[in-house]
Amino acid sequence: MALFQATRAARILPQGAACLRLLSTPALQGPPALPATAALPPTLSAIGLGAPIAKRNAGVSVLGCAIAMVAVGGCAQGIGQLFAALVVGMARNPSMKEDLFTYTLIGMGFLEFLAIVVILIAGLLLYSE
């Protein structure tokens, strides 16, 4: 301890060094001393099992959201293929234009619903704790 105080007095280490703050965390200080008169049974919070779960890192949320948003690109590709098939179908049989367009709109509705669900799941992944 004397060596630490001497280096601190000589200003070799900054006074607010982040590595020194690590030693003052409650996890490294040990359990608090209980009075001798109060012999309490160990509870879940005393052992640390009742402590709240630590918040997930923000990077994990963003990564999960980005992976989920890849499916929106798949929905866009599906809509492109759907309209390409409509154009090919109308070129082959122009008399079925109205029926093909109706089927295309139904398929597009399913794809848009899938895209909305994916965006909602991505939002849940991003903002959940």
Digit-coded pLDDT (tens) for 5-52: 666 566 554 555 555 555 555 555 555 565 555 555 555 445 555 555
Can you give the pLDDT at residue 13? 46
What are the tens digits of pLDDT across the range 71-103?
A: 999 999 999 999 999 999 999 999 999 999 999
pTM of the model: 0.52
Q: Which residues of 4-29 are buried (b: 16+ CB within 10 A; e: fewer)?
A: eeeeeeeeeeeeeeeeeeeeeeeeee
Cβ pair 101, 86 in contact under 8 A: yes
